[in-house]
Amino acid sequence: MAAFYFASAVHEQLPPATKDMIHKVNRETGRLERELAAVLKPYTDNMEAQIQQRVEQLKQELAPYAESLDTEALRAALEQKSEKLRQSVKDLQVQLGPYTDVQKLKVDQHLQDFQERMAPVTEKVHRQLIQRASQVQKIAAPYVEDLKVKLDPFAQVLQARLTSLYEAYAKST
């Protein structure tokens, strides 16, 4: 929980340009996700429809075997139809291969561009975080030392009480 408060405090102290860049990073990431989903949706919908169609066809073709409970014929037909279905899926994968390769290249290029644009900003934010953490440490150091001095007598009394309790317990057993 303390880390959350520290992160919030640091975020509040970031310069507006850095906050804006963080916002741009989040927006660009969302845009890339939406673009990729939009480009792949027709292909995945097509593949899903074709698979669903093959499954329905398989159900219709296997219905007579299920009614007569001819298990050997049912198993043979099921194996044959399963192989056809596997082949259909492979064919669809082959058809989609070039599209997915193109989209992968586009996404990789967008990611590379994004990383190149963000590298200087990331370095700047990193330097600022280190600087702010150092400032917090310098500001808090006197208070921590003061708190340590104030709490040390209590810690010694507590240690003495615990020691005497332990000794009393050890003698009683």
Higher-confidence residue of 147 and 66: namely 147
- pLDDT tens per residue across span 5-32: 766 777 777 788 777 887 888 788 888 7
Place of tokens 């009393």: 168
Residue burial 132-143, b: 16+ Cβ < 10 Å; e: rest: eeeeeeeeeeee
Band of residue 67 on the pLDDT scale cut at 50, 70, 90: low
- The answer, yes or no, to whether residue 69 has pLDDT greater than 70, is no
For residue 167, the number of C-alpha atoms closer than 13 Å in the C-beta half-sphere is: 6
Model pTM score: 0.35
- In this predicted structure, what is the pLDDT of residue 6? 65
Tokens in use for 66? 């299920």
Residue 171 above 70 pLDDT?
yes
Per-residue pLDDT at 129: 85
Pick the closest to residue 46 from 4, 6, 96 (CA basis).
96
Residues in contact with 19: Cβ distance below 8 Å, sequence separation at least 6, in sequence order: 11
pLDDT at site 68: 63
